[in-house]
Structures are given as structure tokens and as C-alpha cells.
Structure 1
């Protein structure tokens, strides 16, 4: 209803908008939402490694578990046009509450799962709906509250998913071994519901003040070459990201490390996301958003080629690779600021809506491709590692072309 989008933000007295202030409250609430959506999602690496080895789910194969993880991300992106419409119609807070309900339902459903199709529906589709409603509703909110520090504020908010992933990778592993799989899932359901519900009470958007355009399908954007390059970057970078985030625990176990070491590797990867995203954001505001995104994607590819392949066979080497994790996930702190450079702030919600729609394909099949490239033995992950690294490098090439085109356009404008 109307009470959910406070109108005080566009009263005449606030024409001179000062950044910060309540904006930091919004950053904190979006950080918490990210911790309990993307953060919980990256703890699926621990569930995946458990499912692959426990044999408790009837009718399952390694690929079907990979598909559950892929679905959870791709369904989130698939519903983004619907969520974009929902935000425009009912406001951000209401949309968040819908997400909280889906997410709690998914974990409770998963806790009773015995067959693989139960998991596909609960931890796959239903979690994806929750993730989509929460994430699409909040991703455009933080940039509205900031101008000079936009990338920094945005990346502090997205760092929540890193810290959430850190806590929940370790926590999930501990809960599964102490109280069993079912109760681990139920406790996650309760926590997610409470935290996201609370965040929905304090988050506020400035959609009216900014004049945000919430069009679900803005087809004309595909006629812009720069937008296509922007989408191309995401298309390939997400392949690499999804494979790394879901495979790292299983990779550790395949190398002969313990389950605890596997969850520590996943936790370090997430810690790097948490600490690294604000750093990437700070750099973006100083050095240029497209420059930093391109460089980060390149580093993600090079570290996969050189550190993961050559040093990953030792636990210390794997930890070093995991600590470069912030570059693998650079798409998250960079996507909104780079998108704003490409299409402008007003069209950003519509541009992101299309962007996520295109990313449905790679995020559904990334981990399926990853696990199908996996063979047995110590070098079993070599094909996966090469594929991952190559995806990042291709993504980098798209951004580099975008960068040179943008520079040319600026020169033409003088």
C-alpha cells in the first residue's frame, strides 16, 4: 500500500538531496538481506559436498545436485521482470517480505526432502524465488542514496553476501555434523525469515525522487552496442563465478582434504568477497567503474589459471586462491555502477532486469557443466579450472571493448 513507500523523500524541502544519513541505514539493511540471500546461497557449496557423499537423497546424481544450485540462481534472475513490476506497484518493503516467505518455505521444504525432485523444488525453485524477490528489490536501492560514494556504498551492501557466506559455510558444516541435515535447514529458515523481515521494516527507496523507470522489458536497450557488451561481460563472468562458488568445497574433498578444511576454503572465499567488495567499490569511485570491473575480471581469470591449477593441490595454495575470491565475484559490486555508466541511473532498473534475464542461461548450466567436466583423481578438476579461467578472460575482453568504445564516445562529446 501507499504507506510502504514514504513520500517524505520528495517533499519540496528535500530537493537539495544530501548523500549519507538515512542512506547508511539502507546500506545496513541491504547488507543483511544480502547475507541471508546470496550468503545462504553460497553455503549450498557445503550442502552440495554433503549430498554428493551421503547418498541420502533418492534418485539423485551429481549433476542433479549441481542443477539445484544452478536453479536457485537462475530462477532468481528469471523472476526479475516480475519483481521489478512488483516494486513499482507495491513498493520495496512488501516485495522483500514476499521474498522472506519464499526463502523460509524453501529451507523448511528441503528439510523434509527425500527425493531429488523435492530438492529441485525447494532448494532450487523456491529458494530462487525468495532470492529473486529479495535481491531484485534491493539491488537498485542503495545507488539512489549516494552520488560521490555510490560504488563504495553499493559494495558495502553487497559485501553482506560475502560475510553471510563466511558465517553460513562454517555454521552449516557445524550444524550438519552436530544436529543433522534437517534441523540445520530448519534453523536457517528461521534466521532468514526473521532477518529479512526486520530489514524490510527499515529499508526505504527513493524511486519517486529519482524518477526510476521500472519497465520489465525495455527492448530498445538491445539496440545499444554498449549495453550488449555489458551483458556479454556478465554472461561469461557468471559462468566462472557460479562454478567456483559451488565447487570449492567439493574440490577440496576431491584433493583429499577433510570436510572441515573444505568448509574453511569456502569460508575464506566468502571472507574475501566480504572484505574485497568495499575495496573494489572504493577503487571504482577513484579509478573508474569500467576500468576496475575489467581489471578484476582479468585477475579472476589469471588466478584461476595460475594459482588454482598449480597451487590448489596444497591446502595452503587453495586458501591463497580462495583469498582472491573477491575478483571472481567482481560482477556483484560492479554490475550496478557499471550499468549506470552504460545506460544512466533512470534506466538502470530496466537494464538490470534484462541483464538478469540473459544471465539465466549461464547460471542454470554453469555448475552442471562444471561437474560434468570433473573427472576422478587428483587432476580431476583440471578441465573445470581451465573452463572457469577462460570464461573470466572472455568476460574481460567484452569489458575492454566496452571501455575503449566509451572512451571514444567521450572524445566525440569533447
Structure 2
């Protein structure tokens, strides 16, 4: 705008043409057509924001809107039509900055809190993040202990780890990762988007484990019909949740961020389940008085001898409310009411032992590398360690519909 204000009519005309292009109905992108995102982050409520050209997609479904309708100052300062990178700042040691949404546009940085531009912004990237290059490809926050210190990972061909505490920049070699056009931290997992595919990676090493890349539309884009979306978001209740050995979640016994009728994948179960857990390479579903065990693969296969009774398999009378296992143990933890039991899965005759009370009953439960998740009604709670389930300190409450199903409410 400075050039136009100084009397350069060609620049003014170019800007007008660009704005006209943005506002043309034909230019509005469709996320279900396999487009590449410029940047991905979450807002203060955990709702994912996907940026493409001058547009913004809120949540995992719904039409695009112009990004400048939500973040007005981005358009006031620069008619760039894109965002290079974005992340939600995770820096609890500095509460005045914690939870701000940070945008990178060419050489400048914009910091927003509750969709309002913070005073003094925009600033040059070099002023706020010394040692970080301009015109970035992607960026993602990495709070401790997921990284050694509260950090941001920047991508521009090379990988830069920026330490908030020391302002030090460490160069990394993520040799197994593709070139990220955007990056995203969601449910304590890290995703690199490249084209319309994505790969999940370890933020410390860049290692990609499992069967990647995967199609982003199958996991992060809700492209099914509207009545299915309304049903999913209005119900927003989990009967069971677990994770496989790669850390991918199964919700209502389906792949991460996808919802399908159970009988499509587990035909022997046919309807809702009471609990689900993984042990070694197998997935266990508990329904009423029976346990179904499946070998997980392209086609989940019911193991020989199943279903078995809950009493035979877990040493406790069914039904149960939830169950989960942690990688480092050979025990499955069974929740029934407000009591939790341990079952040694290596024992020839299994019994539910070590009865103790937990903080509250749960509809679903899951254990992963970063702790235990309990789901109760429309909310879930994260515990860093198993022991915290027996304390009196209630952790932060999260909303299932927003953070697990990607709904807008």
C-alpha cells in the first residue's frame, strides 16, 4: 500500500486485480479437491485452522472463508494472498505470550491473541526469532517435554529448532521427512503436510514411523454429506478409544479422525462396544459379556478362539466401562465404575487384581507415550502419568467434539 499511496498507479491496479481475484466465487477453494495448504494451526479453543491462498478453513469440514475476515490486519498490511507459516505459541513461562497465534508472511511476523493483533506488530522475523530465515515453508510449536525445551520447529529446506528460553537456533537433519509445506501439532502428535498428503513425525528426530504418506482428505478433511456431520457433532460421545503401536488413535474403533459404522471394519461385533484396548499387535473390543480380539491390518481379522467371555479373558465379570494398556507394561487396566483393576495378559489364568479407586468413572480410556486419557461424557482429561489417576488434582477439561471430532462447537 505504501507504493500506491506514493502515487504508483500500476501497483494500485495490480492490488485491485489481486483483490478482485480473491473475491471471485470461482477462486474459492474446495478442500475436498486435494489442495495444498499454506499453513495449519489451531486457535485458542483447539479448533484447527487451515490456510490456502487468501482463504481460511475452520475445523475439519465446511466451506472456505476469506482469511482477512477473521484476521483483518493481515490484509491491511500486505496483500500477499497467502500465509507462509503459522502456529499457536506454547510458552507457559511467559503467560502474556502463551496461546498467541503467530503468522509468518514473507519477512514479517504477526502475533494475535483472541483474533486481535498484539500491539507493536507486525515485526520483522529477525527481531523476534533471530537466526530464522524469511519466506518460510512451515512452522510448528514443540512444547517441553515433547522437545527438550519450549521450542518452535521451522522449515525452509533445512530444519531449525528455536529455543524460547535461550533464543538459540539448532540446525537439524530430518532425512526421512519430505519437504513440508505446512506443519501441525494436534493431540500431541506432529504432522508434516506435503501436497495433499501428510506424514506423522517425531519432532526431536524427524523420524517417520509407519505407513506414510497418507491422504490428508481421509483424515483431516470431512468430505462426507452434511447429515452425517451433524449427527457426529451432535452426538460427540465416545464408547471406546485406543491407540495402535504407531500412536494412531482408534475412536469408536475407527481410524484417526474418521467415523464409520463399526460393522464395516469389525463385522463380528456389529454395533456399539463398551471398551477397546490394544495389546502387542492386537486390538481387543469388549461388548457386553464378550471380548473380540483382532489382528490389525488392511483387513482386521478376528483371532482364532474369539469371542471369549470377559470373565475368561480379563478375570472380571462383565460388562466393563473402559480398558487400556500402556506400552511398557504387560498389564491391561480395566475400569468398572470408579474402580480400576490390573490384568496380567501374560498369565495363563487371568485375574483382575490390585483394585483401587480412580478420580471418576470413564466412558473410554487410552494410554500413550505421553500419558493417559480418560473420556467422560462430552469431555476428556489428560493425565501425564498413570499415578495421577488416583490423585485429587483434576486436570484441564477438553471438549470431545472440538478436539477429537474436529467439530466447530
TM-score for both structures, normalised by structure 1: 0.28
Greater strand percent: which structure?
A: 2
Greater helix percent: which structure?
A: 1
TM-score for both structures, normalised by structure 2: 0.28
Higher relative contact order (CA 8 A, sep 6+): 1
The structure number with the bigger radius of gyration is 2
